[in-house]
Structure 1
Amino acid sequence: MRRYGAIIFDLDGTLVHSAPDLHAAANVALTALGRASLDLETVTSFVGNGVGKLIERCLQATGPCSPDIQVTALAIFMDSYNANITTLTRPYPGVVACLTRLHESDIAMGICTNKPSGAADAVCDGLDLTRYFDAIVGAEDGQPKKPDPTPLMNTIAQLEMQGKKILYVGDSTVDHATALNAGVDFRLFSGGYLNAAVPDLRTAQVFDHWSEFCSS
């Protein structure tokens, strides 16, 4: 990993298994609107393009989805999620040991996620991960989201690593496309929410466990 100036990670489905908390909050919103609940597998399949898209997909799966309903559902979801943001969310096995090793090697590290910035900070704080990162870039209202390269380029700028060789690590087609659009190397964590079985990702370099990534 020393060949890279910085390593930047996606958050949900890459460093942390957050789907159970996202699932619980989504069902709180659906229940409040008189909708049927969705199972964990279904909600997990909706993760990756930000919470607005997550809620839109949940609504479309359970009935009509108008802009007004989506605004209401998103507000209920965020209230519930923010109150329980690390109730069930945990780092994947091997993540903490890997981050510790990389940090001790003085490799610059950042996070680039479609999760809202406040929520990304709260997850990292709640799981004691913030100390490993020099930049945590989340989604902001009105700003481009992945796979647009802007958030990743902003992360690189915050790390002051423009012009250096960068590695982006994620678990999805969105992350893969983001790396391609930004012109940086990519590694795929197969234990996340959208893995190498997806045709678009068959050419990606894949690792199955964080101990494998850290020793590469």
Structure 2
Amino acid sequence: MSQTAIVFDLDGTLIHSAPDMHVAINHALERVGRPALELSQVISFIGNGVEKLVERSLDATGGCSSDVTTRTLRHFMTYYSQNTTTFTKPYDGVIDCLNRLKAAGIPMAICTNKPTGPARQICDALGIGGYFDIISGAEDGQPKKPDAAPLLRCITALGFTEKDVIYVGDSAVDYQTATNAGVAFKLFSGGYLNAPIPELPVTDRFDDWSRYELKTSR
């Protein structure tokens, strides 16, 4: 297949969602008697799914046991599911970029470690859900990124193979996911990059969605 499809990460790539997650995790921490965290701390904990966000937040505020982790996760999900887009918004230039890609006939999908339900809810609320043929999120009992399985499953559902896809993300988790899956990677460097990744060619990184280009080094 000669046509290229694009799969995007969601949090920190297409949308700035950390402010709502920050409020939700601080609500959950308060419910279990823990102090609040700064936004920058919460951003540094994003990337491996909500379970890891909760575990890291508890570790930073006094440690965690299975019982307190379960309770904190429940408080977080209850609050967050009702407050997903209070402060969350697409990054500047994202919607214009999606319009350009759609006009060019490029198939698009989302592969995220956020649970599928909230991911779809957020995309629809922000008016971007209709751009994507597939919105694939974390599922109970299934591996999460950086395991290659979620991305490969998303690519298969899209009707493509890994050699015909670009994965666009903002983090070391996303870079490793693409590497594990054998998929070309492009970095949005204006997101939540919290760990170093190898130096990428200039065509494989960007910090402004108005300058996004399809071409990669591969």
TM-score (norm 2): 0.93
| 3-state SS of 2:212 partner | helix
2 CA distance for matches of 1:66 and 1:120?
Answer: 28
Deviation at 1:133, TM superposition (A): 0.2
CA contact 1:173–1:201 (8 Å) conserved in 2: no
Offset from partner CA, 1:130-149 (integer Å, 9 cap, x none): 11000010000110100111
Residue 201 of structure 1: CA displacement? 3.5
Aligned to 2:205: 206
- Partner Cα distance (1:173, 1:125) in 2: 27
Please give the alpha-carbon distance, in whole angstroms, between the structure 2 residues aligned to 1:39 and 1:163: 38
**Structure 1: tracts of 5 or more residues without a match:** none
- 1:206: Cα distance to partner? 1.2
How many Å apart are 1:164 and its aligned residue? 4.8
Native 8 Å contact 1:98 1:214 kept in 2: no
Given that residues 117 and 138 in structure 1 are in contact (C-alpha distance below 8 angstroms), is that contact kept between their aligned partners in structure 2? Answer: yes
Cα deviation code 1:155-202 (max 9, x no counterpart): 11111012651100000000000000111100000100116xx43232
CA deviation string 1:60-85 (max 9, x = no partner): 00012001110100000011111110
**Does 2:130 correspond to 1:122?**
no
Paired residues of 1:191 and 1:208 also in contact (CA < 8 A)? yes
1:27-66 aligned at under 5 Å gives the runs 27-66=26-65
Q: Is the 8 A contact 1:176 1:201 kept in 2?
A: no
1:136 match: secondary structure: strand
Asked whether 1:97 is paired with 2:96, we answer yes
Whole-Å Cα distance in 1 between the matches of residues 181 and 112 of structure 2?
14
Q: 1:133 to 1:87 in 2, by over 3 A?
A: same
Say if 2:171 and 2:193, in contact at 8 Å, map to a contact too: yes
Equivalent position of 1:17 in the other structure: 16
**How far apart in 2 are the matches of 1:163 and 1:57?**
32
Give me the whole-angstrom Cα distance separating, in 1, the residues matched to 2:90 and 2:134: 18
Distance (whole Å) between structure 2 residues aligned to residue 164 and residue 188 of structure 1:
18
In 2, Cα distance between the equivalents of 1:91 and 1:50?
A: 20
What is the CA-CA distance between 1:5 and the residue it aligns to? 2.0
Residue aligned with 2:19, SS: helix
Contact residue 155 and residue 162 of structure 2 kept, 8 A: no
Listed one character per residue, the Cα deviations across residues 95-136 of structure 1 (whole Å, up to 9, x for unaligned) are: 000001101111000000000011101110110111100001
The number of aligned residues is 212
The runs of 4+ residues in structure 1 deviating greater than 4 Å are none
Structure 2 gap ranges (5+)? none
Report % sequence identity: 55
Cα distance change, pair 163–148 in 1 and its aligned pair in 2 (3 A): closer
1:212 CA displacement: 1.1
Report the secondary structure of 2:76's partner residue: helix
For normalisation by structure 1, the TM-score amounts to: 0.94
